[in-house]
Amino acid sequence: MMIASRIVVLIFAVAVIASHAAESNLTLTVDGITYSNVTFGTVSPSSVSIYHSTGIAKVPLTKLPSELQQQFGYDPQKATAWQKSERQAAEAQLATHEEAKRRTEWIKNNVVNIGGVVVDVVEGKGVILSNKNDAEALNRAYIQYGAIVSPESLKIHTCFLECDTKKFVNGSTVYCSAYMEGTYSYITVMGANMKISRWVYYGQTDPSKRHVNFF
């Protein structure tokens, strides 16, 4: 009985080895190109990757013999839906890449050097800058008199710089390159609604270089 079992196991092992040998010796012709020593890799609803004697290729399931199509579960409707989703994903990725390139170019063309004094730090967001010549008087009026300084006059003297707030404290002087993008809204300690120009920090710059009047 034991000898019979060993014979069955031996026959099964030989069959498995023969099966793998047959698979590794598979020859496949697709669109006039013959691939030898083919083994199959990743399968999608519309294609299968193959490893062959000279490299790797991806073959549409529509190009395979019917028995292989059946083996890989080929369904024309699923294949069409898969191809559509893959095409849409590729187009979306390309659009995102192109938009990123356009934005990078826009930023490059709109970066200028700016300078000012920090009159308020908005934790985690940025700082409110004042024109260097008016910073002391503005800061005093802003803190002591609040509503006496109208929002319209404040807008002339201040801007918001989006940046790492760890770099700055009230009263510190800022020299940097930045680009303007939209506005920043906030409410003063006296309850006045403010909307000032919003600048985005781009990099450090030399204080000796010319800085624009951005207020």
Please indicate, yes or no, if residue 91 is contained in any of the structural domains. Answer: no
What is the domain extent for residue 121? 110-204
Judged against a pLDDT cut of 60, whether residue 134 lies above it is answered with no
For residues 116 and 187, state if they share a domain: yes
On whether the CB atoms of residues 194 and 156 are closer than 8 A, the answer is no
pLDDT for residue 149:
42
Whichever domain contains 42, its CATH number is: 2.30.30
Portion of the chain with pLDDT greater than 70, in percent: 71
124/126 Cα distance (integer angstroms): 6
Do 120 and 61 belong to one domain? no
In a domain, 49, yes or no: yes
Residue-level pLDDT at 78 = 94
Helix (H) or strand (E) holding 41: strand 33-43
Say how many CA atoms lie within 13 Å of 53 toward its Cβ.
11
User: If residue 112 lies in a helix (H) or strand (E), which one and from where to where?
Assistant: strand 112-122
Whether the per-residue pLDDT at 35 is higher than 50: the answer is yes
Number of domains in the chain: 2
Q: Does one domain contain both 119 and 71? A: no
For 60-96, write each residue's pLDDT tens digit: 999 999 999 999 999 999 999 999 999 999 999 989 8
Q: Are residues 123 and 199 in the same domain?
A: yes
Query: Which region among 15-19, 160-164, 198-202 has the lowest average model confidence (pLDDT)?
Result: 15-19
Domain boundary among 75, 91, 125: 75
Q: Which range has highest mean pLDDT (2-11, 105-114, 143-152, 200-209)?
A: 105-114
Q: What is the pLDDT of residue 21?
A: 35
211 vs 153, more confident? 211
Residue 195 has pLDDT above 60, yes or no: yes
> Are 121 and 197 within one domain?
yes
Q: Are residues 66 and 116 in the same domain?
A: no
Q: Could you report how far apart the first and last alpha carbons of the chain are, in Å?
A: 98
Are 198 and 115 found together in one domain? yes
| Same domain flag for 152 and 196 | yes
The tokens for 95 are 């659009």
Q: Are residues 117 and 32 in the same domain?
A: no
Instruction: Give CA 119 to chain center in angstroms.
Output: 34
Pair 52, 132 in one domain: no
Amino acid residing at 45: P
Distance CA 98, CA 190 (A): 45
What Å distances lie between residue 208 and 111, 114, 130, 212, CA to CA? 17, 11, 19, 12
Same domain as 148, residue 69: no
Mean pLDDT of 168-179: 85
Residues 130 and 63 in one domain: no
State the CATH number of the domain containing residue 149.
Answer: 2.40.50
